[in-house]
Amino acid sequence: MRTRLSRAGGMYLNQVIENGDVLGVAWGRTIHQMSKTMTPKSCKNVTVIQMLSSMPSQPDLTIIESSSQIAYKLSGRVASLHVPAVVSSARLAMELQAEPIIRSNFDVLTRCTKAFFVVGNALDENPLIRVGVLNKKEMQTYRDLGAVGVICGRFHDKEGMPVVDDVDQRILGISLAQLRQIERKIFLAGGERGYDATLGALLGGYVTDLIVDEGTAEFLLACELPH
């Protein structure tokens, strides 16, 4: 399923990307695979920016490699957030973002015209635990607060409302409010364990373009979604 979604995502991105776009990219195995297999397209003045800062090294999750590959395939340039995804305190997160060099790349996020991402569930299988961003106790805290999904390290509930805890203040990356403001938000989703997270992302207004597997499509069609 991941292979099919990544291929579909690459084809769709090639169709919708335009000269001058600023493309925000999230991390994830599907996007990483897409970055390797998508067909090159000659574009002008395209910038690809990470929407979440650097993760501990994982062969199938490296966001810097994914964003660099996508930028290369689109004849664009990459803007990297050279700071950890999560730091030890909210104060440190604020201080890092205030540094001029770091601030300049975070400012690129505010100019995104398109975003490309996946949503994770709030279960202990989430890669955020595997890479050490969260531990199981912290994930349980988010579940207790009603979280069902996570986008770029930011949790939301079944209605799409942000779920905020201490960790949220220490994350260096795009916020859900910023994501919602991006004109075109392209979202890959697949698998039964992600149904609630996908529905929440739609209800929260974080998605405009949806690429899903058959099971997810059937689930969403059965839901009473507002028009």
State percent of the chain over pLDDT 90: 72
Q: Establish if 10 belongs to a structural domain.
A: yes
Q: Establish if 102 belongs to a structural domain.
A: yes
Phi, then psi, of 20 in degrees rounded to 5: 85, 0
Q: Establish if 192 belongs to a structural domain.
A: yes
In this predicted model, what pLDDT tens digit does every residue of 106-165 receive, in sequence order? 999 999 999 999 999 999 888 888 877 888 999 999 999 999 999 999 999 999 999 999
Q: Establish if 131 belongs to a structural domain.
A: yes
Q: Establish if 28 belongs to a structural domain.
A: yes
Contact 117, 201 (CB under 8 A): no
Q: Establish if 227 belongs to a structural domain.
A: no
Comparing 86 with 25, the larger pLDDT belongs to 25
* Per-residue pLDDT, 62: 65
- Give per-residue burial for 160-181: e unless 16+ CB within 10 Å, then b: bebbeeebbebbbbbbbebbee
What is the span of the domain harbouring residue 159? Answer: 2-222
Q: Establish if 18 belongs to a structural domain.
A: yes
Residue 159 maps to which CATH number? 3.40.50.1360
Structural domains counted in the chain: 1
Q: Name the residue among 218, 214, 155, 219 with its Cα closest to residue 8.
A: 214
Q: Establish if 169 belongs to a structural domain.
A: yes
In this predicted model, what pLDDT tens digit does every residue of 43-70 receive, in sequence order? 999 999 999 887 655 554 567 788 999 9
Predicted TM-score (pTM) of this structure: 0.92
